Amino acid sequence: MDTKIWGITSEDVKTPLTSETTSKLEEIKLAYEYGEIVAIPTETVYGLGGDATNPEAIGKIFHAKNRPGDNPLIVHIHNYEQLESFTSYVDDKVKKLMDYFWPGPISFILPLKDGVLASSTVAEMDSVAVRMPSHPVARKILEYTRIPIAAPSANLSGKPSPTDAGHVINDLNGEIFGIVVSEQSEIGLESTVLDCTQFPYKIARPGHISIDELQEVLEAEVLEHQDTMERPISPGMKYKHYAPRQPMIVIEGGINSNTNLKVPDDISKEKVGVIAPETVRQYVDKNMQFVSLCRDEESYREAAKNLYAALRHMDASDVEIIYIYGFKQTSETEALMNRIYKATGNTIIKG
């Protein structure tokens, strides 16, 4: 398959649209209407989009990603009318959160209305996760197509999520109908997912929006995230995710002059990778391959934005083992550390 590439930037979708941009949007709309899948940018990560009402399109998403069928997809919309078409009920507390955080990096799990979405979109469940992205290009595509788009991350299942169009091309070129090339994702981690099917609401997947922020707006308790469910109600709950091909180990407590990064006897130091803040480079053996994740130990948002690119860099290198810096556990770092622990399979050493 020859994958179609469209270049559309945030500047391109400012009104009035040029005829060239309109032509690209029309091609993307037709692709979705005919059951094809197209990767699009969002502010979190790149998503692999398909018509959430079309079982054939959803099947193509699962096939392209090699994604387990019991892992539900998030549906992306551009307005509240779309939400009303396939959800059965949205209470006032959820609307309050939507009004505050949408468009933005949060998905709400809501009761599903029968007979609208493909059952495979929601993994045969009676609820659906919904998001209204803030990326200008994603919003324009959703507005132009007027189709609810199911869009998991546009990568091979289990591998680091894509935050740049080049990552998508590397993983899926020749396997999907099209890719929209745009700016790098601003946030770099998948959306917060909040289960609103019962009260108190519960974080099903941590993300950019923290539990503290949710509780402040809601003025009520929100339950913390726990990876304990056999049947996931949200992406990112059950399976090992975000991982490079090499074994990776979290260094809890950080890296300092006393940290001993043990190297297996059969691996040279040149084959050891370290992902950490720039400020700890001085404590890492110069023969090891170092990737700077952020400026310093307090630069959590920068680290989140750069995490997947760093994992992909190591994945493409010749290192045989990777050590990654473990940040202090706070509400600000919860999503970042969730992805790091998932990528390592919870393999930990103390720094």
Whole-angstrom distance, CA of residue 20 vs CA of residue 137: 14
**146 marked ligand binding residue:** no
Whole-angstrom distance, CA of residue 190 vs CA of residue 188: 7
**121 marked ligand binding residue:** no
**19 marked ligand binding residue:** no
**245 marked ligand binding residue:** no
**301 marked ligand binding residue:** no
**279 marked ligand binding residue:** no
Angle separating helix axes 136-145 and 19-33, nearest 10 degrees: 60
**313 marked ligand binding residue:** no
What amino acid occupies position 23? S
What amino acid occupies position 28? I
* Among candidate residues 198, 196, 219, the one with its CA nearest the CA of residue 130: 196
* Among candidate residues 348, 345, 308, the one with its CA nearest the CA of residue 155: 308
Whole-angstrom distance, CA of residue 15 vs CA of residue 56: 33
Helix (H, G, I), strand (E, B) or coil at 242: coil
Query: For residue 81, what are the contacts with CB-CB under 8 A and spacing of at least 6?
Result: none
DSSP run (H or E) holding 107: strand 106-111
**185 marked ligand binding residue:** no
Q: What's the token pair of residue 173?
A: 């070129």
Q: Which residue stretches of 74-153 are H helix?
A: 80-86, 92-101, 136-145
Cα four-point dihedral sign 12, 14, 18, 21: positive
**21 marked ligand binding residue:** no
Whole-angstrom distance, CA of residue 307 vs CA of residue 299: 12
**151 marked ligand binding residue:** yes
Q: What's the token pair of residue 187?
A: 């946030």
**306 marked ligand binding residue:** no
DSSP run (H or E) holding 6: strand 4-7
Binding-site positions read 44, 67, 71, 76, 131, 151, 153, 161, 191, 205, 242
Binding-site positions for L-threonine read 44, 76, 131, 151, 191
Binding-site positions for ATP read 67, 71, 153, 161, 205, 242
